[in-house]
Structure 1
């Protein structure tokens, strides 16, 4: 993975941020919550150490919604644009792959594939929920 600084912003540009270093992991999430939040059949995620993230502009416009204690979703209060999701139990922040246009997105797995609405036969591991290291069953599903 390339190690650098990547910049992102909300839809209207009121909130700007940067993340430094390299992601802890990248992949696709198929859970109902991510699909509903992103309005898409699958969500590309990049997981980062929270210390590598800096809001560089517009921190006062960052709103937060907790559907569950596992996912604290952040958005711009001006345009509603999605920014990232804190995962306190994992100690990681998910910066949606689309928010980092200069990052080479190199997914390594699919999570919550048991909830999929779109099959993606790409040869990557497909976990029914999450890998065991992240509190899941570690069960993998066929493509």
Structure 2
């Protein structure tokens, strides 16, 4: 089984994923943009059992603005690691965190909130896919 390793900015916390992500894409919501201090966030979604902290678990802090997203970061350097999505049963390990992962996005979510239009031919969803509780409505590129 393929494993990918990642770490926070200072290296105090290390994580590992096993297998392949359930999905990869871009999120354009205001919360992800604010949290990442970027115009868009590249996500990789994993089943919780396929993500583990291999070093520095005691340094992980968490912030939950909503019940949907429990964002985790290193309390030493502030480096972002992942977001647990309990209602979805998935963990978003930020694509930039995983060295060696061939990021192959398949969708844009929350595209109705975009501040960085991206013309890449991928599906653009107004919010989330219907199977994850969203409308599933596509919007124009």
Counterpart of 1:118? 116
Q: How does 1:91-102 map to 2 (within 5 A)?
A: 91-102=89-100
Deviation at 1:11, TM superposition (A): 0.2
1:23-74: CA deviation from partner (whole Å, max 9, x where unpaired)? 0000000000000000000000000000011111000000000000000000
Aligned equivalent of 2:127, options 120, 126, 129: 129
**TM-score, normalising length from structure 1?**
0.97
**TM-score, normalising length from structure 2?**
0.99
Counterpart of 1:51? 49
SS where residue 67 of structure 1 aligns? Answer: coil
**How many pairs are equivalent?**
141
Paired with 2:11 and 2:99, the residues of 1 have a C-alpha distance of 14
Q: How does 1:2-81 map to 2 (within 5 A)?
A: 4-81=2-79
In structure 1, stretches of 5+ residues that fail to align are: none
Tell me the C-alpha RMSD between the 2 structures: 0.6
Runs of 4 or more off by more than 3 Å in structure 1?
A: none
Paired with 1:126 and 1:49, the residues of 2 have a C-alpha distance of 23
